[in-house]
């Protein structure tokens, strides 16, 4: 089986045109791969570029240089140069993402927010809702909230909706941007269990976890992102 995701020599900077065009380099020379059935963790202090790397892998950020090769539907695709339509197909079938914050849509219930990625993959709506219920129950989200739009939920409640939405599908690659940041200990443990189940199912996970205990519990490998600091490349 090919490696699910290979990143090679990726560089990213921001050009701030409203600030006289100053260029802010974020990362350079990013090279690593992730393996099926493992959870790889991006480590390093805030501002090192961990989230930027995840966003490039998901297509939210453009890539200046390098390649991001993903194994998508039995073919290899370079996400760094893929068309929007290809990126959308990769998101639908291959790469899932749990963002730090839930982007809420007015009037859509928490249950449907969670079920949506499955429906997009062609699952029957009622089956998808059934799975959504099971996940929300596992994450201890009170049942009385399921029919409500998550806009007014607390941070921890929104995050659990977001986690359920990310974990409901069977994407072979799953990106996690601090999924446990605002969770209590009980729910952190649920997330650790969910991650373990994904690993057992052969999913390749790549995550950012500031919580030391969670990182200890889930990480198979830690990649130190400070090695990709833009200045280091010359050395």
Partner 1 sequence: MTDEPLLRVSALSKFYGSRVGCDNVSFDLWPGEVLAVVGESGSGKTTLLNCLSTRLLPSSGTASYRMRDGQFRELYRMSEAERRFLMRTDWGFVHQNPADGLRMTVSAGANVGERLMAVGDRHYGKIRATAVDWLSRVEIEEDRIDDEPRAFSGGMRQRLQIARNLVTGPRLVFMDEPTGGLDVSVQARLLDLLRGLVTDLGLAAIVVTHDLAVARLLSQRMMVMKDGRVVESGLTDRVLDDPRAPYTQLLVSSILQV
> Which residues of the shown chain bind partner 1 in the complex (CB under 8 A)?
14-18, 55, 59-62, 84-85, 87-88, 105-108
Q: How far is the CB of 116 from partner 1 (least distance, A)?
A: 9
CB of 62 to partner 1, least distance (A): 5
Strand partners, 70: 5, 77
* Cα pseudo-dihedral 165, 150, 145, 152, rounded to 10: 150
Nearer CB in complex with partner 1: 113/219: 113
Q: Which is nearer to partner 1, 108 or 229 (CB)?
A: 108
For partner 1, the closer of residues 119 and 190 by Cβ is: 119
Give the separation between CA 30 and CA 189, rounded to whole angstroms. Answer: 31
Half-sphere exposure of 228 (CA within 13 A, CB side): 29
Q: CA–CA separation, 186 vs 204, rounded Å?
A: 24
Q: What is the rounded CA–CA span in Å between residue 14 and residue 186?
A: 39
Tokens representing 26 are 């974020």
- Tokens standing for residue 87: 């990126």
Distance of CA 193 to the CA centre of its chain: 17
Shortest reach from residue 139's CB to partner 1, in Å:
25
Of 122 and 231, nearer to partner 1 (C-beta) is 122
Q: Is 45 helix (H, G, I), strand (E, B) or coil?
A: coil
- Closest approach, Cβ 84 to partner 1, in A, equals 4
Q: Which residue number, 1 or 18, has a Cβ lying nearer to partner 1?
A: 18
| Of 171 and 198, CB closest to partner 1 | 171
Q: How far is the CB of 131 from partner 1 (least distance, A)?
A: 18
Rounded to 5 degrees, what are φ and ψ at 163? -65, -45
Take residue 193 and report the two structure tokens written for it.
Answer: 């269990």
Q: How far is the CB of 52 from partner 1 (least distance, A)?
A: 9
């Amino acid at each position: 089986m090919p490696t699910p995701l290979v990143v090679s020599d990726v560089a990213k900077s921001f050009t701030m045109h409203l600030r006289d065009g100053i260029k802010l380099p974020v990362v350079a020379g990013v090279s690593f791969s992730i393996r099926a059935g493992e959870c790889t963790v991006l480590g390093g202090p805030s501002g090192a570029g961990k989230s930027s790397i995840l966003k490039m892998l998901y297509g939210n950020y453009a890539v200046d240089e390098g390649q991001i090769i993903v194994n998508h539907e039995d073919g290899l695709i370079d996400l760094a140069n893929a068309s929007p339509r290809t990126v959308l197909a990769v998101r639908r079938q291959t790469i899932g993402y749990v963002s730090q914050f839930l982007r809420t849509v007015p009037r859509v219930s928490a249950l449907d927010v969670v079920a949506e990625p499955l429906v997009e993959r062609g699952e029957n709506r009622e089956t998808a809702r059934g799975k959504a219920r099971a996940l929300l129950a596992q994450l201890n989200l009170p049942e009385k909230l399921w029919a409500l739009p998550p806009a007014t939920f607390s941070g921890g409640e929104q995050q659990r909706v977001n986690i359920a939405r990310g974990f409901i599908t069977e994407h072979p690659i799953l990106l996690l941007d601090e999924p446990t940041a605002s969770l209590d200990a009980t729910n952190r443990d649920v997330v650790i269990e969910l991650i373990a189940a994904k690993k057992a199912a052969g999913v390749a996970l790549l995550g950012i976890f500031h919580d030391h205990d969670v990182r200890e519990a889930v990480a198979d490998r830690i990649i130190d992102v400070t090695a990709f600091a833009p200045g280091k490349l010359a050395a």
